[in-house]
Chain A
Amino acid sequence: MSEDTSFPNLPILGQEPTGRRGFLKACGATLGLAAWATAMKPLTEWAQDVSVDEFLQKHYRELTSDQKRAVFQRLEADCRKKHGVDVTISDPQAIPGVQFAYALNLSVCIGCRKCAEACHIENNHDRATNNSYIRVFEMEMGGIDFEKGNATYDHPVPQPGKFYMPVQCQQCENPPCVSACPIEATWQEDDGVVVVDYNWCIGCRYCEAACPYHARRFNWETPQIPAEEINPDQGYLSNRIRPQGVMEKCTFCLHRTREGKMPACLEACPTGARVFGNILDPNSEIRWVVENKRTFVLKEELGTKPRFYYFFDK
Chain B
Amino acid sequence: MSANKDLVVKDLKVHFGGGKKLLSGRKPTVHAVDGVSFTIPAGKTFGVVGESGSGKTTTALAIMRLVDITDGSVTLGDTQISALKKDELRAARSRFQIIFQDPFSSLDPRKRAGEIVRQPLDLMSIGTPSERAAAVSELFEQVGLRPEQQHLFPHQFSGGQRQRIGLARALSTRPDLIVCDEPVSALDVAIQAQILNLMSTLQKELGLTYLFISHDLGVVQHICDEIAVMYLGQIVEQADRVTLFKNPKHPYTKALLEAVPTVHGNKRDRSQRTRLHGDPPSPINLPKACRFASRCPRAESRCHNDIPPLEENDAGHKVACFFA
* Chain A partners chain B: no
